[in-house]
Amino acid sequence: MNILFLTYGHVSKMRGGIDRVTDVLARSFITRGYNIYMISVCKPHKGDSSESYQYILPKESILSQENTQYLSDFLANNKIDIIINQSERIAIFRLILQVKGKTPVLSVIHTDPLSVVKGVRDNWDYWKLHEKRWKFLLLSPYYMLRTILRYYFRYHSIKKHHKYFYENNDGIVLLSEKFKEPFLHLINISQSNKLFSISNPLSYQQTRNIEKYQKEKIVLYVSRLDYSPKRLDRILKVWSIIGNHVGWRLMIVGDGPDAILYKNLAMKYQLRNIDFMGQTDPSPLYKRAQILCVSSTYEGFSLVLTEALQYGVIPVAFDSFESVHDIIDTGKNGFLVKPFQINYYANILKSLMFNDNLRQQIQMNIQTDTSFFNRFNINHITDEWNDLLSRFIKK
């Protein structure tokens, strides 16, 4: 079987998110005897890994004639049996449609189907954060109108996008069974045989020997530092509410366009016991940390949650996206907080930090939960993909 992954960014095991997932899945397919090819729009960055089966479109202008000819020739010369589209960009999908012929196409939606609609509240909070209080109150009718209009246009935009993808793909893959209902409701369809769900696999080839790690009083945050949807400002506020940290440190791993904003916010709150670590491999910190904080407005599938659980780190997250229930069983292997109750989040985090018995019990639950490791194990996820691919490829 010859499989082509089409992506926007260069796939590298050194990255996170879609890139890491695609790399893990591709390597597993190869062990099953599949021939794997990858084509990306973007070139690799410094430090990225590259494999012999990775290619780059000749032009950055996605719908250029050169790209169309290149992809058409690639499909024919390599006898591609199926295309897995890992991008939600309309231009990339249109490029595929121009050249695919009878080759089946599966598109994976890697985020919450209602992501851009849920993200509207971030715009409101961003304005509130940046404007002086008196000015925000004075301009609140203006901001309210902008919010309503933005919600309206984003809702209809994402509806049009998802409907276009649904009608023109052979199949749509969501990251959780729980995303199916909101997706179908959005495009006004009651049921479907074109909609599938397969979770992301675990990021690390990690045994369950969690007890071997020497855990320290570390609360960890791992994310790209952009305001929406990750919302590190919520965790900084939580840390300020807790106040007395008694030996605990908040370590923030990641970089991004809003790094300076967050460092200034930490200074404004006069936060202590906090470290901005920059972009670095989080796995050594997973081994040392005891608690992970996630504060996103939405996610498709939060890889940092499963990564943390692999290392026995207790996750705390807002119950703001459906797939989080696939990962966290609140009170057993972590905690979910009603969106976006900052004070309650602070109380949960404080309890975990200062209640050794509670923390040790949750860690023991994580250690003994075989279902988690079986559910997201790469072999199980590859089996699910194999079953799905067999529906579309003629023997």
The domain in which residue 220 lies consists of: 210-375
- What distances in angstroms separate CA 236 from CA 242, 338, 353, one per listed residue? 10, 18, 16
What is the DSSP code string of 44-81? PPTT----TTEEE-S-SSTT-HHHHHHHHHHHHHTT--
Question: Do 365 and 247 fall into the same domain?
Answer: yes
What global pTM score does this model have?
0.90
What is the DSSP code string of 185-206? HHTT-S--SSEEE-PPPPSS--
Question: Do 170 and 265 fall into the same domain?
Answer: no
- Tokens 């780190």, residue? 313
Q: What is the mean pLDDT of residues 135-156?
A: 86
What value does the mean pLDDT of the chain take? Answer: 92
Q: Which amino acid is at 180?
A: K
386 within some domain:
yes
Choose the weakest-confidence range: 4-18, 145-159, 336-350. Answer: 4-18
pLDDT band at 395 (very low <50, low <70, confident <90, very high): very low
17 within some domain:
yes
Q: Which amino acid is at 285?
A: L
Question: Do 86 and 37 fall into the same domain?
Answer: yes
- Helix H or strand E encompassing 104: none
Q: Is 254 helix (H, G, I), strand (E, B) or coil?
A: coil
Cα–Cα distance between 339 and 352 in angstroms, integer? 19
pLDDT band at 52 (very low <50, low <70, confident <90, very high): confident
What is the reported pLDDT for 139?
Answer: 79
What is the reported pLDDT for 129?
Answer: 79
> For residue range 242-278, what is the model confidence (pLDDT) as tens digits?
988 889 999 999 999 999 999 999 999 999 999 999 9
Cα–Cα distance between 61 and 58 in angstroms, integer? 9
110 within some domain:
yes
Question: Do 48 and 156 fall into the same domain?
Answer: yes
Q: What percent of the chain has a predicted confidence (pLDDT) above 70?
A: 97
Give the count of alpha carbons within 13 A of 70, CB side only: 18
Question: Do 195 and 275 fall into the same domain?
Answer: no
332 within some domain:
yes
Shortest CA distance to 392 belongs to which of 196, 175, 187, 164? 196
CA dihedral (289, 291, 297, 302) in degrees, to 10, reads 60
Question: Do 367 and 387 fall into the same domain?
Answer: no
129 within some domain:
no
- Tokens 């231009």, residue? 91
Q: What is the mean pLDDT of residues 214-236?
A: 95
Question: Do 237 and 343 fall into the same domain?
Answer: yes
> For residue range 153-191, what is the model confidence (pLDDT) as tens digits?
999 999 999 999 999 999 999 999 999 999 999 999 988
Q: What percent of the chain has a predicted confidence (pLDDT) above 90?
A: 76
> For residue range 361-371, what is the model confidence (pLDDT) as tens digits?
999 999 888 88
Q: Is 370 helix (H, G, I), strand (E, B) or coil?
A: helix
Question: Do 351 and 239 fall into the same domain?
Answer: yes
364 within some domain:
yes
142 within some domain:
no
Question: Do 254 and 187 fall into the same domain?
Answer: no
Question: Do 162 and 221 fall into the same domain?
Answer: no
pLDDT band at 12 (very low <50, low <70, confident <90, very high): confident
β-pairing verdict for 314-318 and 291-293: parallel
Q: What is the mean pLDDT of residues 186-207?
A: 88
* pLDDT of 133 above 80: no
Whether residue 119 contacts residue 297, with contact meaning beta carbons closer than 8 Å, is answered with yes
131 within some domain:
no
Question: Do 285 and 306 fall into the same domain?
Answer: yes
Cα–Cα distance between 322 and 319 in angstroms, integer? 8
- Specify the CATH number for the domain of residue 66: 3.40.50.2000
Question: Do 370 and 382 fall into the same domain?
Answer: no
The 3-state secondary structure of 296-331 reads: CCCCCCCHHHHHHHHCCCEEEEECCCCCHHHHCCEC
Question: What total of structural domains would you count in the chain?
Answer: 2
Of 45 and 9, more confident: 9
